[in-house]
Amino acid sequence: MPTTPTVLQTEDLVNELQCYGARLVDPKAGAESRRGGAGPSDHKAVTIAGMTVMVPVHTAPAFESPYLIEKPDAAGNSQVLRDGLAIGDASFPLRPRFYDLCTADGVPYPQIAVLHGRDVLATTVLQTCIRYQSRTKACQFCAIGQSLAAGRTIERKTPAQLAEVAKAAVTLDGVKHMVMTTGTPPGRDRGAAILAESAAAVQAAVALPIQVQCEPPDDPAWYGRLRDAGVDTLGMHLEAVTEPVRRRIMPGKAQMPVALYFSAFEAAVPVFGRGQVSTYILAGLGDTAEDILAVCERLVAIGVYPFVVPFVPISGTPLESHPAPSSSFMHGILKPLARMLVESGLKSVDVKAGCAKCGACSALSSYELSTAREGVCA
């Protein structure tokens, strides 16, 4: 159940909104919401207390959420209400200007890359995945095929297209970093090759810190090749941390066990640096808080930033009716995790690019800030 609000701290309000979602008085407020695609989806960027966060607005829990975000006034300012009571200010990032352009070969820019959070350019370089071909192999939370089927994106973004859009997003909208993810193609590099050529093309066009995200490539030499192509940070995403949950939720991807991910992390950290390799962990899929915190402790010890986000049940996926985690479950993970991160000097603010730096899909960076304010720093 959502917490009964007295005065919520920013991190608690963000946590509540991300777990329970929100209803919008004006669904058209701000930039377009995200639907489908790789990674977390069905949410909208909202700025609360100066932090831009992704709030689920198209999910089943969001339709029942006790939180309501008012229509913004002419200056873009709005309020979050709960049971009719205003409990916080909110605003919406504006629609980016680069969305109005088309590439030299006629593709609308938002079909190539979109704005995430406040200042992140995000793209799925390859919108298909070997694991998405059959329901017996696909990750059950994933909607990578939905935006492609709906014509909101194209299957393969070329390096030239990505470079063109990145340059415009920096020039017109002040984008600060870029995330490139990919569906997993056939082949042992697991997407590293197309990410390397894409990053190199963007870096040749505009100076922009880049995170790439893929499954661990077979050959560790790919880490050096990615770095040499201009990649600043690397994400290799566990999603779930215990093998039974991994096999149930992501039967194809679970063929690569957690131990293999740890070998990959140990090879990648010396190449990219401490805190510049990260992993996404979806809380709420069956792993206990203790399971997640135990794995996070191992990750932090080897210099990997564990970006723990609440699972968002995306419409149209096999998990659309799976409950989102409660805010108290997330609080029980994020509070001690933030302390662990601050004490070990592995903070999101020091990450050069990507999801861990953006932080919009989790209240983790808000918890880090409040932990640092409480004086837990070593």
Question: Residue 269 or residue 356: which is nearer to ligand SF4 going by CB?
Answer: 356
Closest CB to ligand SF4 among residues 112, 360: 360
Q: What is the closest distance, in whole angstroms, from the C-beta atom of residue 184 to ligand SF4 in the complex?
A: 17
Query: Which range binds ligand SF4 by CB under 6 A, 116-124, 202-210, 220-228, 269-277?
Result: 116-124
Q: Is 121 in the site for ligand SF4 (CB under 6 A)?
A: no
Contact stretch for ligand SF4 (CB under 6 A) within 14-22, 113-121, 256-264, 343-351: 113-121
Q: Which is nearer to ligand SF4, 147 or 242 (CB)?
A: 147
Minimum separation from the CB atom of position 355 to ligand SF4 (A): 3
Quote the distance between the C-alpha of residue 151 and its chain's center: 22
120 interacts with ligand SF4 by CB under 6 A: yes
Q: What is the DSSP string of 178-212?
A: EEEE-PPPSSTTTTHHHHHHHHHHHHHH----EEE
* Near ligand SF4 in 334-373, by CB under 6 A: 355, 358-361
Min separation Cβ 179 and ligand SF4, Å: 5
Q: How far apart are CA 53 and CA 361, in angstroms?
A: 6
C-alpha to C-alpha distance for 191 and 184, rounded to whole angstroms: 6
Residue 276, burial from CB neighbour count under 10 angstroms (0-12, 13-18, 19+): buried
Classify the C-alpha dihedral 220-349-47-289 as positive or negative: positive
Residue 170: CB minimum distance to ligand SF4, A? 16
CA distance 29 to 310: 24
Enumerate residues 25-54 that contact ligand SF4 by CB under 6 A.
39-40, 54
The residue type found at 28 is K
**Shortest distance, position 37 Cβ to ligand SF4, whole Å:** 9
In angstroms, give the least distance from the CB of 5 to ligand SF4: 25
Total number of residues that touch ligand SF4 (CB under 6 A): 13
- Could you tell me which residues come within 8 angstroms of residue 165 by beta carbon, excluding any fewer than 6 positions away? 98, 103, 109, 112, 113, 121, 123
Told to check if 116 binds ligand SF4 by CB under 6 A, we report yes
**CA–CA separation, 46 and 188 (whole Å):** 39
Residues that bind ligand SF4 (CB under 6 A): 39-40, 54, 116-117, 120, 122, 179, 355, 358-361
